[in-house]
Structure formats: C-alpha cells, structure tokens
Structure 1
Amino acid sequence: MSRSERLLDLIQILHRHRRPVSGRTLAGEMGVSIRTLYRDIATLQGQGAPIEGEAGLGYVLKPGFMLPPLMFTDEEIEAIVLGSRWVAKQPDKRLAAAATDALSKIAAVLPDDLREDLDATTLLVGPGSGTVEAIDLGVVRQAIRDERKLGFLYRDAGGAASKRMVWPFALGFFDKVRVMVAWCEMRQDFRHFRADRMSGLSATDIRYPRRRQAMLKEWRATLDRPVQNASNNSED
C-alpha cells in the first residue's frame, strides 16, 4: 500500500469514529506501528485535515471535512451505483431524486477513468413492486429526524381502521412494502406499520419524550428475546 493510500484509509477510519479514538486502536486497524500512525496524523494535520487530539487522549476528525476527488475500487463503484439505482426506483419520490442527485455529484468529482467505470457498470436493478403508498414517506423521514409525533389512520390486514399517534424512529425498505417502526401510544408498545395501509398522515410539532436512538436500541433488543417472552411488536 502506498503512503497516499494509507493516509486516505486513515481519513476513512476517522470518519467512522464519532468519538475520540486512541492512536493504538487506529494503528491496529491500519496494521501499522504507533510511530507510523503518529507521523501520518501529523502529515494530515499539516495538509489541513481538521484532526483534533493528541497522543494519550485520542483523535477525532471534525464533522464536515470533505475528501478531495475520490478514488474507488471497482467493487466500491458497483456498490454505489447498485444502491443508488435501487433507491431511485423506490416509491419515495424525494428519496429517489436524492439518490440520482447524489450519484451525479459523486460522478462529478471522480477522475475520468473512474467516471467511465461508473457509467459503464452492468449491475442492474429490476422493476419496482408497483406498490403505491397514499402517504408521503418524506414526511415520515422528517418526523424521524426531528423526533416528532405522527398521527394517521391505519387499516390492519382485516381492514379494520384505527386512529394512531406514534413516535416513529425507523423506516424499513423492502422489495414490495415500506414499514415504519414506532412506539404506538394506543398499544403502549413497539409496532410495525405498513406504509400502504396508512392514510391521513398528520405531522405534528410535538417532540416525543425519548431519543430515537435509545428506542431503536430497545426495539432491537426485543427482536432477540424468545418468542414466548417477546412483546407483540409485529405488524399492527
């Protein structure tokens, strides 16, 4: 591995860590000596990378730092294109447009040879499921980001309707359906709601009383519990 590749890897590793990480941990991830790691940190800092910290305390890369024109392997390019093409075919129109725009921005900063590889990739995505939701999934995603309550009318598999007020914290994308994961005030438990059975979506300015990451962690824990002890948090 060349020194420039090693420096790029170090930046990418720092991007993955949101909190200060020790030099020994970084050196271990990169497979270099601690002395080499310290030299590489100093080199990046000298080139303007906003890396804060020092030996013994750990290092963190300040948010917002952008890499120069990007270099990708063939498989990384295929993963980017395939993922973007899949999202671009989802019913969430705003997210689909964002995927197309993101791919264009990436292409704009790639060297010419890699841009040609990106345009020529032959990994294709099949046609969408054709399922159309009556709600704007962009509203759901915004409520999740802002940690705000959502109200809506929900029809279960048997067609019975009920009004719900929920605390949304995750949105699952599957081939034929989109599923919102939320804490349901009526059920006082975690519930899964199919987007194609939701209507009358009403965004609120009411912040729910818990952090979404804490609820996500707790919900994941319920999935690991034995079936006989787990709460009934399947599709409502």
Structure 2
Amino acid sequence: MNRLDRLTSILIQLQSKRIVKSQEIADRFGISLRTVYRDIRTLELAGLPLISEAGVGYSLVEGYRLPPVHFTREEAMSFVTAGKLVQKLTDSTTRQSYQSALFKIKAVLRTNEKELLDDITNYIEVLDNKYLPKDRHKNLYIEQILNCILNRYLVRIAYYSTKTLQSSSRDLEPIGIYSNGPYWYLIAFCRLRASYRNFRLDRVQSIQVLEERFSTRHPSLQNFIEETSQQKSVQKVVIRLEKTSYQYLCDQQYYHGFISQTEIGDQIEMTFLTASLPGFAHWYLLLGEVAEIVEPEELNALVLEKLEKIRLRISQSLLT
C-alpha cells in the first residue's frame, strides 16, 4: 500500500471510533509507531482537526465529518459475504438491523458497485447444517444483550437446562457474547449461583431488561475466555478410523476437540484434546465398528463399561 492510500485509510479509521490508539494503526498497516506518528503529523498539517492525548490515542474534533467515501470492489463484495453470514448465524433482530445498515451503505455506492452487489448475491450462499435444529437462531436476543452490556443493565432470563430438563429464572450481570461452532453463548455473573456462568442463547426462553444497573467491574470477555480455557483440564485421545467410513463423520469430530489427522495405510489417525473422556466414549460408540482406540487405554475401559451396560439393558428388555 502506498503512503497516500495509507493516509486515506487512517483518516477513515479515525472516523470509525471515538479514540484510535497508535498501536491499532501500526498493527493494521504493519508499520512502526514512528511511521504512525509521522503519518498523523502529515494529516494535521493538511488541516485535519485532530485531538491527540498522550497515552490515550487520537480523535477527531466532535462534529467533523468527511463526505461519504467510495468503496473498492473488494470492500463492496465483502458486504455481501457478511450479509450471508448474518442471515444464517444471527437472529431476526440483528438481520433486520444489518439489512437497514446495508441499504445505507448502498446509498453511497457508485452505480457499478450497486450492480456488482446485486449480481454477486446470486453466487454466494451459507447453507443450513441439516444436523442442527432449524429454529436455533430464531430468538437469540443479541441486540438486547449487547445494549445491556454497554449500559450495565441487569437482565432476568428464563433459562432451560438440558441437565435438569427444567427452566429457571436467573438475574444476570452480562459480560459478553460469543459464537462458537453453531451456537451463540452469553458470559454473565449469575446472582442465583453467585458465580460466572456460560449460557447458550438458544436455550434462553425469555429475557427481561431490569431497571437496576450493576456497578461491579467484571473481567473482559477475552480475559474470561482465556482464563476458563486455561483452567479446563483436557486429555489427549488418538483413534484410527477406516478411510471408507470417514465421509460419514459429517464434521462431528469438530465437536469433540479435534486437533489433527494423518493417513496411515487404509486408516486415518485422528488426534483430539477432550475435556470429557466419558463424553468422548459416548461418541466413540457410534464409530466402534469402524474405528480403534490408540490411546489412552482408559478410554477402552470406559467404552467396554458402557457396552456392558447396554448389553444388560437389552437382556432385561428381552426378558420382559
């Protein structure tokens, strides 16, 4: 990227948020902080009304805006890609908001860019996973939760637990939401349990925004995810699967801590890091006819134990 394009991009970045840090600019363009300072000085000499705070970052004078910028061909196409993902992976409220925003973006596009967006829409699609419920993204309350996080409002949810098969009312101090695989999750401090909890949003049956605001300073979402992942105890599992049966996995391995795989003769050796060996044993029962356990030996014992329970249950059923 030449310097003129970089200066233009920095100017657009400065309009994208209230304060932009030097390091953010350096990371985005792969340049040194010294180069960032030189570029910022160039923009100031060009008449850009910048406010600079040592140790904080840069911001534009309130109310200063440039006319709408033109998007590149690649940027215009990225809107379509993002829209397809929003359509399939978020809820109805978020989809409506995105569609409204996309209309505003299209309003400032050149005619050929508008035509490009209309054309390219027919050549990209995100398909539903046929193994997952069709309505799992119907009501996820994403926008409501994000507003509560920003304004520090307490929320009350009715949550369905697959462990107890019952619903319970929880008052939560929301921290953040994230998407992992096919589901969205909410990290929050649960006042009922007096500890941090992880809630799957498709199991939230209703949500009520309370008037009460919380003042507790919770760890950031990223810190929470990093800390909990470090605390999670995982165990290495290696299995070998017949190549002829690999196609029937249908990506199930990614839900069980899949790490890597290699081909060994007529088999595929797959390595996992699982947080639940008993849970992995349950899944392995589906593969037992075409797979073998390489390690750990403990997994073999767990599978045999489950098979014996199955045998006894079937025997009792036949007797009755």
Output the TM-score relative to the length of structure 2: 0.56
The answer to whether the Cα contact below 8 Å between 2:154 and 2:212 also exists between their aligned partners in 1 is yes
Higher strand proportion, which one?
2
User: In 2 relative to 1, CA 36–134 (structure 1 residues): closer, same or farther, beyond 3 Å?
Assistant: closer
Change (3 A) 1:69 1:138: closer
Question: Whose radius of gyration is greater, 1 or 2?
Answer: 2
What is the rounded CA distance, in whole Å, between the counterparts of 1:59 and 1:134 in structure 2? 38
Q: For residue 39 of structure 1, what is the amino acid of its counterpart? A: T
Deviation at 1:171, TM superposition (A): 2.3
CA distance in 1: counterparts of 2:206 and 2:73, whole angstroms? 45
Aligned-pair identity in percent equals: 22
TM-score, length basis structure 1: 0.73
> CA distance change for structure 1 residues 171 and 67 in 2, over 3 Å: closer, same or farther?
farther
Q: How much is the aligned-residue C-alpha RMSD, in angstroms? A: 3.7
Quick one: structure 1 residues 113 and 135, their matched pair in 2 at CA, closer, same or farther if it must change by over 3 Å? closer
Match for residue 59 of structure 2?
Answer: 61
Equivalent residue runs for 1:134-153 within 5 Å: 136-153=141-158
> Is residue 154–residue 163 contact of structure 1 (8 Å, CA) maintained in 2?
yes
Query: Counterparts of 1:156-175 in structure 2 under 5 Å?
Result: 156-158=161-163, 159-173=165-179
Matched-pair contact (CA < 8 Å) for 1:149–1:165: yes
Change (3 A) 1:157 1:145: same
- Distance change >3 Å, CA 96–CA 58, structure 1 → 2: closer
Is the contact made by 1:51 and 1:59 (CA closer than 8 Å) also made in structure 2? no
Match of 1:180 among 168, 186, 199: 186
Higher RCO, 1 or 2 (CA under 8 Å, sep at least 6)? Answer: 1
The runs of 5 or more residues in structure 1 that have no matched partner are 230-236
* Contact 1:27 1:33 (8 Å CA) reproduced: no
Instruction: For structure 2, list consecutive stretches of 5 or more residues without a partner in the other structure.
Output: 235-320
5 Å-filtered alignment, 1:1-236, equals 4-14=4-14, 15=16, 18=19, 21=22, 28-29=31-32, 38-43=41-46, 46=47, 49-53=48-52, 60-62=58-60, 66-90=65-89, 92-121=91-120, 122-127=123-128, 129-131=134-136, 133=138, 136-158=141-163, 159-173=165-179, 176-211=182-217, 214-228=219-233
Contact 2:19 2:57 survives alignment (8 Å): no
Count of paired positions: 222
Q: Contact (CA 8 Å) 2:94, 2:143: kept in 1 or not?
A: yes
Q: Secondary structure at the match of 1:105?
A: helix
Structure 1 residues 70 and 88, CA gap change in structure 2 (3 angstroms): farther
